[in-house]
Amino acid sequence: MARMMVRVLSTALAGAALTAAAVPAASAAARPGPGKGLDAKVRERAGRLVADGAPGVIVMTRRGGHVSHVTAGVSDKATGAPMDARLLFRIASVTKTFTSTVVLQLAAEHRLSLDDTVDRWLPGLVEANGNDGSKITIRQLLGQTSGLNDYTPDPRVMSDPARSWKPAELIAIATEKPPLYAPGTSWNYSNTNYILAGMIIEKVTRHPVGTEFQRRIFTPLHLRHTYYPTTNPGFPGPYVHGYYYDYGDVSTAISPSSARTSGGIVSTVDDVARFHRALFTGRLLPAKQMREMRAVRPVNDDGVVEDYGLGAARIKFSCGYAWGHDGGFPGYRTWTYTSADGRRQAIVTYNESKYEYDKGFRADLAKTTETAFCG
């Protein structure tokens, strides 16, 4: 749903969650190939994350033409099934890069302008309590500079996890509070911006967002294991089970309607990597729109230090810069990194939310991402 994890879940989740079984000892496996030295280093790091408490971890790495997958721990604590890099998981706010890509494609087609206001496409939707859609541009939505509050911390969003939320209902929650600042004058991470971006896509194209994702990204890139569910909390195939604090397994307990174009996509590490490689090497957007996406500002979002553009971030590593986005949905956390030339990639995902602010875990995670991208 959000990069910022939902901190409050109602007791309704407790009835939907499975009783957690003891986690088996960490295990790791890697596909054989010329990157065995890197695999060994990544395997050690992934095992440390499991030792820290993550039920299971997947780390995908690319070095030129060589792609490797390292897994550790389990995908399902109840059965002890090992983690598997082919399994589906909720990519959460990594979805924002998909949404931004479609908006930028529409800009390239001259069907909208990034300088269009929200009111131009969604008149009257953003107007309560000092919020003013006539002063917020599409560029500000994608760049997280609109000043709009995030709807996700509101306890109503998770008071009934299975509820099917309409996008306008989420916007209404966000606009109950006055804006944090005048549009364009500061930065805050708000899922509200990307719900609005999805609504604009539908208004411009007169198609459901899922249709546009499919024809513009999923099908051309052969992302055969990538889906955009709107209300169904289930998975269309074998999946990683996600765990949320004491609620246990919440994999299918939460309607993706509370995330939608801000964080609703389900995918695999290979499909996400393929999308990012195509995007950041210029296959999905013309040069002008790529420059727009890569026009960044330095931000520190709840401890995540990066340069944020339009639905994509630039992250500094010891070996250079990576592009990507991270995401968190109850039970799922994902970090993605792709070099500008597409020759170097790393994706790290794990299936437990409660270590989000654990300093030891985050330190080991930083070592894992550094090793996976630069090692």
Per DSSP, the three-state class of 100 is: helix
Of 321, 2, 1, the closest CA to residue 189 belongs to 2
Active site residue 93: yes
Non-local CB neighbours of 89 within 8 Å, separated by 6+ positions: 239, 240, 242, 266, 267, 268, 332, 334, 349, 351
What is the Cα–Cα distance from 295 to 142, expressed in whole angstroms? Answer: 11
> Which of 10, 68, 75, 93 does the annotation list as catalytic?
93
CA distances from 162 to 9, 13, 17, 78, 323 (A): 12, 9, 12, 22, 33
**Burial class, 288, CB count within 10 angstroms (exposed 0-12 / middle 13-18 / buried 19+):** exposed
What is the Cα–Cα distance from 193 to 310, expressed in whole angstroms? Answer: 11
Task: Say if residues 256 and 235 touch (Cβ distance below 8 Å).
Answer: no
Non-local CB neighbours of 200 within 8 Å, separated by 6+ positions: 103, 112, 118, 121, 122, 138, 141
The H-or-E segment that residue 294 falls in is none
Of 363, 356, 369, 364, the closest CA to residue 5 belongs to 356
Catalytic residues, by residue number, are 93
